[in-house]
C-alpha cells in the first residue's frame, strides 16, 4: 500500500472553559484511514459533522481551543514516515505547500484585501523558495498560472476585483504553486454558481493529472464526490461511518446515513421532493448514547441505542459502521 497520509485513531476535540466549566466538543472522535498516492479522496457529511476539523488535524493546524487527545497523523515525504504532530515548527512550516497544501473553504476572503495578488503570491513563494530574486519568483508564479490555463494578468489586480469563480481558481493556483504531494480542498465549490463550479472542478482534475498529486476533497455535496473522487468516506458526528470506492458507495450504500445523503441529491428529471434525513446532526457536545445516528435513523434497533457500532470490513475496500451490517 502506497500511503501518502495515514490517520490513526484520531481524536481532536475543542476544549472550552465557560464560566469555570470545562466543555469538550468531540469534533473528531476516533478516526482511522489512509489516503493513497495519486488518488482523489473524498470526505462527505453534513455541516457540523467534524469534517473541517479533520482536515485541520490532517494539516496539523492546531490552534486552541482545538486539541489532539489521541491518535496520530503521518506524512510520507521522501518515502519516510513523519509524525505530523511532533514536527517542529520550522520543519512543519517547510512541508507546507511543498508536501501538503490547502485550498480554503470559499476563497472570498483568503487573499490579503489591501495588497495586490502578486504580493500574496510572492509572500507564499518567498517563505518556501530560498535564494531567488523577486522577478524569478514572479516568473515562476506566472508560468504556473499559464500552465493551469489562467491569465497571469490576475496577479496585478486586487482580490476584490475578481469574480467568485475566478478567485477560487486563483486560490487553487496559489495552493498548488509548489506542486505539493497532497492537496486538501475544503468545500472548494461552495457559494459558486454551476458554471463556475464546473470550471473549478475541471481545474482540480487538471491539477491532479498535471502534478500527479493526491487530493483530499471535503464537501457535503455528494454530486462533487461522484464527479471527481476515487474513494470516499462518510462522516457523521465525528466518526467515519462508511468508507469505500466512490462507485461502490454510490452503487451500494450500506449505512442509512449514506443513503440519505445520496437520496438528497437532485436527479435529472426527478420532480419529487428530495428526501433528506429528518432532524439535524446532534450537538457534538452532547452526543446521544450508542450510535450517534440512531435518533434520525428509520431502521433503528434496540442495540443501536446502547452501543457504538465499530467500523466493519465488508469487503476489500468497503467498510461500514452499522449494527445492521453485523454478521
Partner 1 sequence: MEALRELFRDYRFAVGFVFLVLLAALAFLSFFSPYDPVRWLQVPRDEPPSWKHILGTNAKGQDVFWEATFAIRNSLVVALIAGLVSRVVAVLVGFLAGYKGGVVDRVLMGVADGLLVIPLFLILVLVAMLLREAMTIVNTGLLLAFFGWAWDARTIRAQILSLREREFTQTSLLSGNSTLSLVSKEYVPFTIPLIFSTLISNIAWAIGMEIVLAILGLVRLEIPTLGTMLQWAITRQAMLLGHWWWIATPLALTVILLVALYWLSVSVSEYLDPRMRIQRIGAR
Partner 2 sequence: MRFVRDYLIPRLVQYVLVIFFGITAVFLIPRFTGQDPVLEIIAQIQTQGGSLDPIAVRKLTETLQELYGLRGTLWEQYVNMWRRVFHLDFGPSLFQFPTPVSELLRIYLPWTIGLFATSTLLAWLLGNVLGGIAGYFSSQSWSKILDAVIMVIRPVPHYIFGVLLLILFAYVWALFPAGGLMLGRRTVVDLRFVMIILRYSFLPALTLVVLGGAGWFQQMKLLVQNVRREDFVQYAQAGGVKERVIISRYVMRNAMLPQITQLALVLGQVFSGVLMVEMVFSYPGMGLLLYRAVTRGDYNLVMGIAILSIFTITTAVLLLDLLYPLLDPRIRHR
Q: Which three-class secondary structure state does DSSP give residue 312?
A: strand
Q: Give the footprint of partner 1 on residues 100-139 (CB under 8 A).
A: none
Strands 239-245 and 312-315: unpaired
Stretch that binds partner 2, among 4-12, 59-67, 70-78, 288-296 (CB under 8 A): 59-67
Q: Which is nearer to partner 2, 33 or 97 (CB)?
A: 97
Please name which of 319, 295, 318, 315 lies closest in space to residue 305, comparing C-alpha atoms: 295
Q: Figure out which of the listed residues 128, 205, 259, 312 binds partner 2, where binding follows CB under 8 A.
A: 128
Stretch that binds partner 2, among 122-130, 218-226, 247-255, 302-310 (CB under 8 A): 122-130
105 Rama sector, left if φ>0, alpha if ψ -120 to 50, beta otherwise? beta
Q: Is 99 in the site for partner 2 (CB under 8 A)?
A: no
Q: Report d(CA 305, CA 289) in Å as an integer.
A: 6
Q: Is 321 in the site for partner 1 (CB under 8 A)?
A: no
Q: Which is nearer to partner 2, 27 or 277 (CB)?
A: 27
Q: Give the footprint of partner 1 on residues 13-42 (CB under 8 A).
A: 14, 16, 18-19, 23, 25
Please name which of 25, 87, 39 lies closest in space to residue 60, comparing C-alpha atoms: 87
Stretch that binds partner 2, among 20-28, 102-110, 250-258, 314-322 (CB under 8 A): 102-110
Binds 280: which of partner 1, partner 2, none (CB < 5-8 Å by kind): none
Binds 59: which of partner 1, partner 2, none (CB < 5-8 Å by kind): partner 2
DSSP for 29-95, please give it: EEEEEEEETT-EEEEE--TTSSHHHHHHHHTT---TTEEEEEEEEEE-GGG--EEGGG--HHHHHHH
Q: Is 313 in the site for partner 2 (CB under 8 A)?
A: no
Binds 115: which of partner 2, partner 1, none (CB < 5-8 Å by kind): partner 2
Neighbours of 184 (CB within 10 A): 27
Q: Report d(CA 94, CA 5) in Å as an integer.
A: 17
Strands 231-236 and 239-245: antiparallel
Only one residue has cell 500552465, namely 147
| Residues 113 and 158 sit within 8 Å (Cβ to Cβ) | yes
Q: Which is nearer to partner 2, 124 or 260 (CB)?
A: 124
Query: What angle, 0 to 180 degrees and rounded to 10, lies between the N-to-C axes of helices 164-175 and 134-147?
Result: 120
Q: Is 164 in the site for partner 1 (CB under 8 A)?
A: no
Residues near partner 1, by CB under 8 A? 14, 16, 18-19, 23, 25, 65, 283-285
Residues near partner 2, by CB under 8 A? 59, 61, 64, 92-94, 96-97, 101-102, 104, 106, 108-115, 119-120, 123-124, 126-128, 158, 160, 174-175
Amino acid at each position: 500500500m502506497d500511503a501518502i497520509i495515514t490517520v490513526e485513531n484520531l481524536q481532536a476535540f475543542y476544549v472550552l472553559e465557560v464560566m469555570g466549566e470545562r466543555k469538550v466538543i468531540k469534533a473528531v472522535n476516533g478516526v482511522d484511514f489512509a489516503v493513497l498516492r495519486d488518488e482523489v479522496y473524498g470526505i462527505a457529511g453534513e455541516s457540523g459533522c467534524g469534517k473541517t476539523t479533520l482536515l485541520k488535524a490532517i494539516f496539523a493546524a492546531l490552534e486552541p481551543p482545538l486539541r489532539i487527545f489521541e491518535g496520530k497523523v503521518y506524512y510520507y515525504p521522501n518515502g519516510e514516515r513523519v509524525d505530523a504532530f511532533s514536527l517542529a515548527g520550522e520543519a512543519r512550516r517547510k512541508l507546507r505547500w511543498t508536501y501538503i497544501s490547502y485550498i480554503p473553504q470559499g476563497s472570498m476572503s483568503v487573499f490579503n484585501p489591501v495588497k495586490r495578488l502578486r504580493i500574496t503570491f510572492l509572500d507564499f513563494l518567498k517563505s518556501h523558495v530560498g535564494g531567488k530574486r523577486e522577478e524569478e519568483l514572479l516568473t515562476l508564479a506566472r508560468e504556473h498560472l499559464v500552465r493551469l490555463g489562467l491569465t497571469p494578468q490576475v496577479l496585478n489586480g486586487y482580490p476584490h476585483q475578481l469574480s467568485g469563480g475566478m478567485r477560487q481558481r486563483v486560490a487553487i493556483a496559489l495552493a498548488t504553486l509548489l506542486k505539493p504531494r497532497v492537496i486538501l480542498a475544503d468545500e472548494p465549490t461552495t457559494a459558486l454558481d454551476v458554471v463556475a463550479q464546473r470550471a473549478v472542478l475541471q481545474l482540480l482534475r487538471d491539477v491532479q493529472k498535471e502534478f500527479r498529486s493526491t487530493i483530499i476533497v471535503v464537501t457535503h455535496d455528494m454530486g462533487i464526490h461522484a464527479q471527481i473522487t476515487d474513494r470516499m468516506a462518510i462522516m457523521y458526528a465525528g466518526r467515519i461511518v462508511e468508507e469505500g470506492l466512490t462507485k461502490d458507495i454510490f452503487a451500494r450504500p450500506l449505512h442509512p446515513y449514506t443513503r440519505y445523503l445520496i437520496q438528497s441529491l437532485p436527479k435529472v428529471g426527478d420532480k419529487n421532493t428530495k428526501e433528506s434525513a429528518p432532524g439535524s446532526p446532534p450537538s457534538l457536545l452532547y452526543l446521544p448514547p450508542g450510535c450517534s445516528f440512531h435518533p434520525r435513523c428509520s431502521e433503528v434497533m434496540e442495540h443501536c441505542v446502547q452501543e457504538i457500532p465499530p467500523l466493519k470490513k465488508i469487503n476489500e475496500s468497503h467498510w461500514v459502521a452499522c449494527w445492521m451490517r453485523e454478521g
